[in-house]
Amino acid sequence: MKKVIYQVDAFSDVPFGGNPAGVVPNAMGLNETQMLNIAREMNLSETAFIFPMKDDMADYEVRFFTPTQEVDLCGHATIASFFALASKGIITGTNNVEIIKQKTKAGILPVELYFKGGKIDSVMMTQAKPKFVFNVQNIPELAQIMGISVNDIGIEGYSLIPEAVSTGLTDIMLPVKSLSALKSINPNYAKLTEYSNNLNIIGVHAFTLETEDEASTLACRNFGPAAGIDEEAATGTSNGALGAYLTKNNVLKFEDNITITCEQGYYMNRPSKIIVRLEGSTDDLTVKVGGKAFIVMEKFTSEI
């Protein structure tokens, strides 16, 4: 039995941007040991294994493996998986939206596939309802850990303070005043790991309203050493939480829906664009996150 494996850069429309994931489009016949071995061999943060289903509950079962273990869900690997299925003609559409249900260990979740001219354009996934966990009380401590001045924190014209927010995973939203402040962030990773563990958060998501690309809404950097990633090139859950934070604090002119584009990974040579769509009302907000992807490699396993 041989299996095809794609390496897909999620949240990017160019090769070697975004956040890479492995995708096995037809994992039928693979057991857990084999999936873990493939994920270990790919050596990416996650590899997704897709099982076509034939019932009314879901269209596909998707299982996600890091090089060391299975995890319940992975946002960028979800985007990569369904972009790959559509790119290879396994899922088709014209100029419409196809809604696919994926069965995961986190539940059955809808995924929206947007087509233009018969080709896949972007993939969006719904996240958990936003939770505003706590405000940061000791801002000088956070500034010191992140290697910036207290005066760098905030956004001109708004009364913003750092706050822990979750749409599935909890990060501290850290507003900074400029791109130069964003670039200058240089965390003490040991202290940030201890800080994150003490507060039971994944890490810190820093952002500014200044951008490198004029088409972007804001620029971000994400730091999660407590989760084993000093800096991440593209983070779906963090940017979803950021959209909720901006809505709550009236930074976004939100009525019943708005779409923003977050740029990330620019200072890691992995430029990423994460689309965040906010729908509903400020009291009952639905957060969707997604973007484009690019298949950079196609591999085959040996007989297993």
- Asked if 294 and 13 count as a contact pair (C-beta separation under 8 A), the reply is yes
In the set 32, 46, 212, 214, the catalytic residue is: 46
For this structure, is 210 an active site residue?
no
Q: Which of 185, 194, 154 is nearest to 264 (CA)?
A: 185
Does residue 270 sit in helix, strand or coil?
coil
**Integer angstrom CA distances of residue 58 from 51, 83, 103, 111, 129:** 11, 17, 6, 11, 21
In angstroms, rounded to a whole number, what is the distance separating the alpha carbons of residues 56 and 111? Answer: 15
Angle at 90 between CA 287 and CA 30, to 5 degrees: 90
Structure tokens at 200: 């039971």
Q: How far apart are CA 251 and CA 148, in angstroms?
A: 23
Instruction: Say how far apart CA 20 and CA 238 lie, in whole Å.
Output: 17
Q: What gap in Å lies between CA 153 and CA 140, rounded to an integer? A: 10
Per the DSSP assignment, residues forming a β-bridge with 289 are 125, 276
- What are the residue numbers of the active site? 46
